[in-house]
Amino acid sequence: MRALRQVIGSAAAALVVVAVAPSWPAAASAARPDVPVAPGVVLINQPARSVCAGHKFRVGVWFQQFSGGSRAYRIAISGPRHRRFFYRHGLAPASRWRFWRVTAGRAGQYRVRYSGHRPGSARWTTYLAITRARRC
């Protein structure tokens, strides 16, 4: 819990509690009112919206143990040249956040794709986050 408070305190704007489960954040469900909202299973760290080229941004996962469901996740990041250069998969840890620091090597748009299972399903559900690297 202390680690979660540190993450929230240090990067309050960067942390988003998103379910890699039945539905996505309120913005997605507002656009599609027919999608039910459900408790989170795998929580993700929303990367920064904008960074300087050559600097790092952070992605991460944490399993919310009391919610149940699958701990499986996939993270894939594509750069400005539309090529995937970062990929991680596995089971999200329940005891702490698992973070990776990814370098935005050049100016442009980086697509961060988080994927996870819906409860009771073997299908992958994907959430897309965009980070823009600019010259500073």
For 100-122, the pLDDT digits (tens) are 999 999 999 999 999 998 877 88
What is the per-residue pLDDT across 92-101, written as a single tens digit (0 to 9) for each?
A: 999 999 999 9
Q: What are phi and psi of 30, to 5 degrees?
A: -70, -35
Q: Which regions of the chain are under pLDDT 70?
A: 1-40
Q: Which of 54, 62, 68, 135 is nearest to 101 (CA)?
A: 54
Rounded alpha-carbon distances, angstroms, from residue 47 to 38, 66, 69, 129, 131? 22, 25, 24, 7, 7
Residue for token pair 């750069």: 79
Query: How many domains are there within the chain?
Result: 1
The pLDDT of residue 117 is 87
The pLDDT of residue 88 is 97
Range of the domain at 57: 2-32+39-134
CATH classification at residue 77 = 2.60.40.1930
Cα 43 from Cα 23, distance rounded (Å)? 12
- This prediction's pTM: 0.70
The pLDDT of residue 6 is 42
The pLDDT of residue 12 is 32
